[in-house]
């Protein structure tokens, strides 16, 4: 694709988006009925603000979903500590709740505008950010172009490119170059990610490591934790977390194979809680008794499965066990972040489809804190071995905690990379009160 064709493609994207923009309302309404949009705040998706812009310099952070929101939370706190206002956009209702829990009133939260020119332009004209910081792999063409047109520096932090996404962009090198040349800086998670961004035309690129390692431990309700531990007593537990379709059934199969020998309680936490009714029905059909967090069901001795059907309570579920299988890896592809269970003292098991977190898993596996399983039978054997072998389980847990400690430092590196863009805003924020006086 030539440079001319790339410009034509972006122009076509713009005009098609403008046409679709006028009829996107029913789509958002449908998403709202499924709990994926906040009906009371749908106008934010069109770029209409629901809060006043504060005086002085302002940084726009965008974090698509829960993982990205958690990853940039310490970075946002550092920016706010420097006296700079922050507007944070997210794309899901779940990430909005996580933002409220972890950041409270120190940021202004808005839902990200749709990647159509009218919405993006309206958002930018109102908020007038001095800097845009985008988490991980969010590449929205119209947003990037409009930021570039306004000469607003835009930085990708904790940046990564999956195998699939990189392959897709490589097929369109001129289009990639036309977009990535707008980025002032890319701060990548790994050398592999950094080289991929360079190939696609991004400059400059630096490596920080994974910001998720420098986050605080996931919060929990101490009263609920104490009560559940009392109910569980001496029973052995394991957790299947961030699971996708098919993996809950696998967890049920593992439980059925092991419960007579171990008196087992299995904790299942689907990645998408809206699937939990179907998950419960499937597990019940296997003859398993299910207790659900939202119902407040007690974990009586006859309960087989504790179904974690809430948002933002992974810290609670993981503190109830020392063995965790991380989903989206056995049947689905890409994997999920294994750092939270490692940070909270769990031996980590995973399927082999962990392309999105390859470097992290390689380090954990090298240090002996994570093991990859091929299938459900191997998962059952791995869970059983760790439950009955205290020395091996403790060795994996200790190795995980050590690995996490080795990986720390991404926040410091990211802040150093951002200094040329943030320091002038610090000066501007300090001078603003004097200018008003």
Instruction: Mark whether 136 is an active-site residue.
Output: no
Q: Give the span between the Cα atoms of 233 and 135, in whole angstroms.
A: 41
Q: Give the span between the Cα atoms of 292 and 245, in whole angstroms.
A: 18
Q: Can you give 286-344 as a three-state secondary structure string?
A: CCCCEEECCCCCCCCCCCCEEECCCCCCHHHHHCCCCEEEECCCCCCCCCCCCHHHHHC
- Catalytic member of 68, 138, 146, 340: 68
**Is the distance from CB of 246 to CB of 330 less than 8 angstroms?**
yes
The CA distances from residue 341 to 187, 218, 256, 348, 382, in Å, are 25, 10, 24, 7, 16
Nearest to 106 by CA among 59, 42, 68: 59
**Is the distance from CB of 300 to CB of 365 less than 8 angstroms?**
no
**Is the distance from CB of 195 to CB of 168 less than 8 angstroms?**
no
Name, in order, each residue with C-beta under 8 angstroms of 405's C-beta and a sequence gap of 6 or more: none
| CA angle (47 as vertex; 312, 17 as ends), nearest 5 | 105
Q: Give the span between the Cα atoms of 299 and 281, in whole angstroms.
A: 18
Strand blocks (E) in 160-209:
185-188, 205-207
Nearest to 74 by CA among 239, 214, 240: 214
Q: What is the DSSP letter of 84?
A: -
Catalytic residue list: 68
């Amino acid at each position: 694709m030539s440079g001319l064709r790339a410009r034509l493609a972006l122009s076509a994207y713009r005009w098609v988006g403008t046409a679709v923009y006028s009829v996107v309302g029913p789509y958002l309404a449908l998403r709202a009925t499924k709990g994926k949009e906040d009906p009371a705040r749908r106008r934010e998706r069109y770029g209409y603000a629901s809060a006043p812009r504060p005086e002085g310099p302002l940084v726009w952070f965008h974090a698509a979903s829960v993982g990205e929101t958690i990853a940039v939370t310490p970075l946002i706190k550092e920016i706010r500590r420097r006296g700079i206002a922050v507007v944070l956009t997210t794309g899901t209702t779940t990430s909005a709740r996580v933002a409220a829990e972890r950041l409270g009133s120190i940021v202004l939260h808005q839902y990200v505008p749709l990647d159509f020119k009218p919405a993006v332009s309206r958002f930018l004209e109102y908020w007038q950010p001095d800097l845009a910081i985008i988490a991980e792999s969010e590449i929205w063409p119209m947003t990037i172009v409009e930021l570039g047109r306004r000469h607003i520096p835009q930085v990708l932090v904790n940046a990564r490119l999956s195998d699939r996404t990189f392959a897709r962009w490589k097929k369109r090198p001129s289009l990639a170059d036309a977009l990535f040349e707008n980025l002032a800086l890319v701060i990548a998670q790994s050398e592999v990610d950094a080289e991929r961004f360079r190939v696609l035309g991004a400059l400059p690129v630096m490596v920080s490591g994974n910001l998720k390692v420098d986050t605080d431990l996931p919060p929990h309700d101490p009263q609920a934790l104490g009560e559940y531990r009392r109910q569980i007593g001496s029973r052995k537990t394991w957790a299947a977390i961030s699971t996708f379709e098919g993996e809950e059934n696998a967890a049920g199969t593992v439980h059925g194979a092991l419960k007579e020998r171990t008196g087992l309680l299995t904790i299942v936490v689907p990645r998408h809680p809206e699937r939990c009714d179907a998950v419960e029905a499937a597990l019940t059909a296997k003859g398993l008794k299910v207790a659900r967090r939202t119902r407040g069901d007690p974990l009586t001795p006859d309960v087989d499965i504790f179904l974690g059907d809430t948002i933002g309570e992974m810290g609670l579920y993981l503190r109830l066990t020392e063995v965790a299988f991380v989903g989206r890896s056995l049947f689905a592809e890409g994997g999920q972040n294994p750092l939270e269970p490692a940070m909270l003292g769990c031996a980590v098991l995973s399927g082999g489809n962990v392309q999105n977190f390859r470097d992290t898993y390689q380090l954990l596996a090298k240090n002996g804190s994570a093991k990859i399983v091929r299938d459900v039978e191997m998962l059952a054997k791995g869970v059983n071995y760790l439950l009955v072998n205290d020395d091996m389980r403790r060795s994996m847990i200790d190795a995980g905690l050590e690995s996490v400690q080795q990986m720390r430092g991404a926040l410091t590196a990211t802040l150093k990379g951002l200094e040329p863009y943030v320091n002038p805003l610090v000066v501007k924020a300090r001078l603003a009160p004097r200018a008003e006086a």
